[in-house]
Amino acid sequence: MSQKIVLSHKTGFFSEDDDNLFKAVFDRIQTGIIIIDPDTHSIVDANPIAEEILGSSKSEMINRMCHEYICPAKEGTCPVTDNNTAIANEERIFINKKGEKVAVQKTVAKVKINGKEYLVESFVDISDRKKADDRKVALIGFMNESVLRIRRPLELTKMNMQLIADQVKSGEYESEEIRMELQIQANNISQMIKNLDDLVRMVAEERGEEIPKEFREFLLGK
């Protein structure tokens, strides 16, 4: 398995007619890979998944500086070559060709190919996982707000009702005073029901297409 890998400044490390194991893996692996020359910080190769994640073709990326595509660090402040920082399975944000943010988990490894050192930057798109995490946080927020604005006040309302019952029993309170207190509790309960409806509606609107249409309409009161 001692095939010589040749760097072409047009096609990257591998030419179209190359037929070796490394090229097959490089082209088919479901991880974005970009190979960088640490001396010039220019991109020397990119595999199809890297093209897909970044939205740029290999020919657009080759010979371009890495900080134009995959690293926000300015020239001379490369975390790997200038600051000697290891990057292993770290979450980062790439900006793709359309200017959209793409969350990735990336690793940078130093390798020697034909006696020269290169940086192999490998990354996977974790946008879906990040979205799921955001949804989880939103759900926790919804539960939290529901507890704060409904459950705790309900506990207080229960205590207030007990207090009102004791006041009636004592015979020391006028009927208008009792009426006012009961009316406050009734108004509060109505407001709590409204809060619950609002919270459910907010979730239904926020989660959009994820909730089946009929159920979403039901939640939105349509």
Partner 1 sequence: MLAPPEDIHGMNIAVVKKILGQGCTPLIITVNQPFKVLTKIYTKEGIDSSKFYVIDTVTQYSGGVCEENPRVHYINNPSNLTDLGIAISEVLKQMPDKKKCIMFDSVSMLLIHIPSATASKFFHFVVNKLKLSDVSGIFLCVEKGLDPVILSQMSSFVDKIVDFEPEIIAKP
Residues that bind partner 1 (CB under 8 A): 144-145, 148-149, 152-153, 155-156, 158-160, 163, 167, 172-173, 176-177, 179-181, 183-184, 187-188, 191-192, 195
State CA 103 to chain mean position distance. 6
Name the minimum Å distance from CB 222 to partner 1. 24
Toward partner 1, which CB reaches closer, 120 or 192? Answer: 192
Q: How far is the CB of 80 from partner 1 (least distance, A)?
A: 36
**Residue among 105 and 185 whose Cβ is closer to partner 1:** 185
Supply the minimum distance, in Å, between the C-beta of residue 7 and partner 1. Answer: 52
How far is 10 from 2, CA to CA, in rounded Å?
Answer: 23
Shortest separation between residue 91's beta carbon and partner 1, angstroms: 22
| Choice between 42 and 160, CB closer to partner 1 | 160
CA–CA gap between residue 27 and residue 32 (Å, rounded): 10
Contact of 62 with 44, CB cutoff 8 Å = yes
